[in-house]
Amino acid sequence: MAEEGEESVCEERPLIAATMFGVTTPCVMEAKKALEEKGYEVLVFHANGPGGMAMEQLVGEGHIQAVLDITTTELPDELCGGKGSAGPNRLEKAGERGIPQVVVPGAMDMVNYFPDSIPPQFRTRLLYLHNPATALMRTNVEENRKLGEIMGRKLSWAKGPVVVYIPLRGFSAIDAEGQPFYDPEADRAFVEALKDNLPPTIPVIEKEAHINDPAFARDLVKALLSFLDRQPGPAVGSPG
């Protein structure tokens, strides 16, 4: 990813950063395709800790024009000591630089652990073995409330345009009805806390959709392009 980022920066092409996890891949790929059709280059960062850190670094250095932060799962890992934390400053650089952000609570329903390193206090929680190297823990109502407060506080500092999109039918592939992490109460706790901690200038758009629905991804792209259309400087492709 770092090599890809460096090559793209050298070409001086307009860049949009997007964050992805396995459980949000369909959404990110649909959005990436739509943005590329408009003439933008999309750098996809795997939201596994190092990926989020690399994105924040490139944003901080001024190489990124906008952020499509579909997968903010590194926040619960930071809160609960998971292996995928990107550190305490995740979700801050875009706001500091004032570039447009479209943010989604992608995979906020889970914390990542090595299967043999789950903290003792969490071993009786709802766990899902994603693969031999990763056990996922479902975030509960209390944790989601804290995560809503954290995200709301971080986004409230932003100097540029921000919108948050909420997929009401699930935050990940395993947070859909009939899937192991489906928990509307926990998701709602996040949304309510987020709203309580955001200023009225940052809208929260709730959609009756699952995060991986193609129409939801297209809504995210429309929102980001509307921000970019208002930015000073030459247009890229034909966004809008």
Q: How confident is the model at residue 89 (pLDDT cuts 50, 70, 90)?
A: very high
CA distance 16 to 227: 12
- How many structural domains does the chain have? 1
pLDDT score for 81: 97
Write down the mean pLDDT value for the chain: 92
Whether residue 7 has pLDDT greater than 50: no
| Half-sphere exposure for 143 (CA within 13 Å, toward CB) | 19
Q: How many whole angstroms separate alpha carbon 15 and alpha carbon 1? A: 14
Domain assignment present for residue 130? The answer is no
Domain membership of residue 119 (yes or no) is no
Report the C-alpha gap between 20 and 203 in whole angstroms. 23
* Assigned domain for 38 exists: yes
Residue 240 within any structural domain of the chain? no
Place of tokens 């790929």: 29
Mean pLDDT of 55-64: 97
* Biggest alpha carbon–alpha carbon distance for the chain: 55
Is residue 44 one of the residues assigned to a domain?
yes
Domain assignment present for 238: no
- Is residue 132 assigned to a domain? no
CA 86 to chain CA centroid, Å, is 12
The domain that holds 100 is classified in CATH as 3.40.50.12030
pLDDT at residue 237 greater than cutoff 80: no
Q: Domain containing 26: what range?
A: 2-108+140-229
The angle subtended at Cα 79 by Cα 95 and Cα 177, nearest 5°, is 95
| pLDDT confidence tier of residue 6, bands split at 50, 70 and 90 | very low
Question: In the predicted model, is pLDDT for residue 226 greater than 70?
Answer: yes
Length of the chain in terms of residues written: 240
Q: What is the pLDDT of residue 66?
A: 98
How confident is the model over 128-146, as a mean pLDDT?
97
Residue 122 lies in a domain: no
According to the model, what pLDDT value does residue 14 have?
74
Query: Is the pLDDT at 20 greater than 50, yes or no?
Result: yes
CB hemisphere CA count around 1 (13 angstroms)? 21
Q: pLDDT tens digits, residue range 176-197?
A: 999 999 999 999 999 999 999 9
